[in-house]
Amino acid sequence: MDHNVYEQLADVLDTRGVGFPRTTSGVEFKILKMLFTAKEADLYMKLSLEPEPLQVIAQKLGQDADALAAALNTMAEKGLIIQVPHDGMVLYMAIPFAIGILEGNAIRVKEDPVFANLVTQYLDEGLGAVAAKPPLALRPVPVNRAITVSWPIATHDDLREIVRTKQFIAVTDCLCRTRKVHAEDKSCGKPTEVCITFDLHAHMAISRAQGRQITAQEAIDILDKAEAAGLVPMAFNSINPSGVCNCCGDCCGVLQYVAKNSKPAKIVLSNYFAVVDKAQCVGCEVCLDRCQMTAIAMNADNIAQVNLDRCIGCGLCITSCDAGALSLALKPETERQVPVEAAP
C-alpha cells in the first residue's frame, strides 16, 4: 500500500514543473521515499500549486486545523511545500519536484552523499533529459553589457531590470555544482554561491537555511562575477522569473542536455544571436572557449563564425572579445518570443 502512494505521487509530480519521469531502475522512488513519509505523500497530492490558507485546506480535507498545521509545517521544513507569509497569516502551497523540491533540498545534496548520488543517477537516467525538453524551465538572458542599447530591451530580457523590480532576494549555492563536488568529487572551479532567487523562492531558501538575503545591488554584483567566470545567466522561464541560475556546461544538467542537441537555438527561448564584425576579428579564438554551446568556429580566413543553429544568445562571447568584434543582434520580430506568464 505504501508503494502505491508513491506511485500516485510520482504521477502527480509528473504533471508539475518539468515533470517527474519514470526510470527502469526506479531510482525516483528511492528519492521520493527519502523525502516523503507515506502520509506526507498523501497530503502533498491534496495540496494546490496556488497558496491557500490553513482553514481552507482543513475544510477541504475535513481535518483538524491544528494537526494539519503541524503536518504542513513539517513538510515546509523538509522543503516539500512552501509557506507563504500573507497579511499576517501563513498560506501553504505545493511545489513541483523541479524547480522546487529538488532545489529546496540543496542542503541535503551537500550533507548526504547517498541522496546526492541518487539525484545524480536520476538526472542521468531521466530527469536531465525531460528538463531539457521544450519548454525549458530555464532560458538564457543576456548580460546587459552584451547588449548594444540601440533598440528597446524588453523588461523580461533585461536581467538587471528583473533584479531591480524584486522585493526580496536571496542567493544560494548552485545545486548542480554542489552535487558534482559531493557526489562525484569533481569541481569545475567556477563560483558556487550564484543562484539568485526572488520572493517566494527566496523565502523558501532562507527558511531552509540554504541561502542568505541580499540587496538588488549585491545580486547585480554576483551576476557580474558570474559573467566574468564565464557562467551562462539562465532565468526561470516565465515573464516574471522567480530566480536566475548562473550555469556552466560542466555541472548544469539543463545546459548539458541543451548543448547535446544539434540545434540548441531551436529549443531555448532567446531573442538574440551573436554576430561577428569580420573587419575587427583578430582570430584570437578566445570566444571559442567562452561559448558553452560550441557555436563559434574559425573559418578558412581565421575569422570567427557563429553557427546560428547553436547560438543561444547568452552574450558571454561578446564580453570576452577585446577586439570588439562580437555583438548581440535582436532576432526579427517574427522570431521573437515572450516567456509564459507562469513557469512551466
- Asked if 169 interacts with ligand SF4 (CB under 6 A), we say no
CB of 246 to ligand SF4, least distance (A): 5
User: Interface with ligand SF4 includes 123 (CB under 6 A)?
Assistant: no
Binding status of residue 182 toward ligand SF4 by CB under 6 A:
no
Using rule CB under 6 A, residue 224 touches ligand SF4: no
Cβ closest to ligand SF4, residue 5 vs residue 235 = 235
CA distance linking residue 235 with residue 300, whole number of Å: 36
Contact pick of 35, 75, 202, 295 for ligand SF4 (by CB under 6 A) = 295
Q: What is the phi-psi region of residue 287: left when phi exceeds 0, alpha when psi lies from -120 to 50, beta otherwise?
A: alpha
- Binding of residue 118 to ligand SF4 (CB under 6 A): no
Do 164 and 260 form a contact (C-beta atoms < 8 A)?
A: no
CB 202 within 8 A of CB 284: no
Tell me the closest approach of the beta carbon of residue 220 to ligand SF4, in angstroms: 17
User: Cis (ω within 30 of 0) for the bond into 312?
Assistant: no
Alpha carbon distance 223, 166 (integer Å):
15
What is the β-pairing status of strands 232-236 and 243-247? antiparallel
Residues 133-162 that bind ligand SF4 (CB under 6 A): none
Q: Residue 223, CB half-sphere, CA atoms under 13 Å: how many?
A: 32
Tell me the closest approach of the beta carbon of residue 273 to ligand SF4, in angstroms. Answer: 6
Contact between 6 and 40 under an 8 Å Cβ cutoff? The reply is no
Q: Does 314 bind ligand SF4 (CB under 6 A)?
A: yes
Exactly one of 163, 254, 258, 330 binds ligand SF4 (CB under 6 A); which one? 254
Residues that bind ligand SF4 (CB under 6 A): 174-177, 195, 245-247, 251-252, 254, 274, 276, 281-287, 290-291, 293, 295-296, 304, 306, 311-317, 321, 323, 325-326
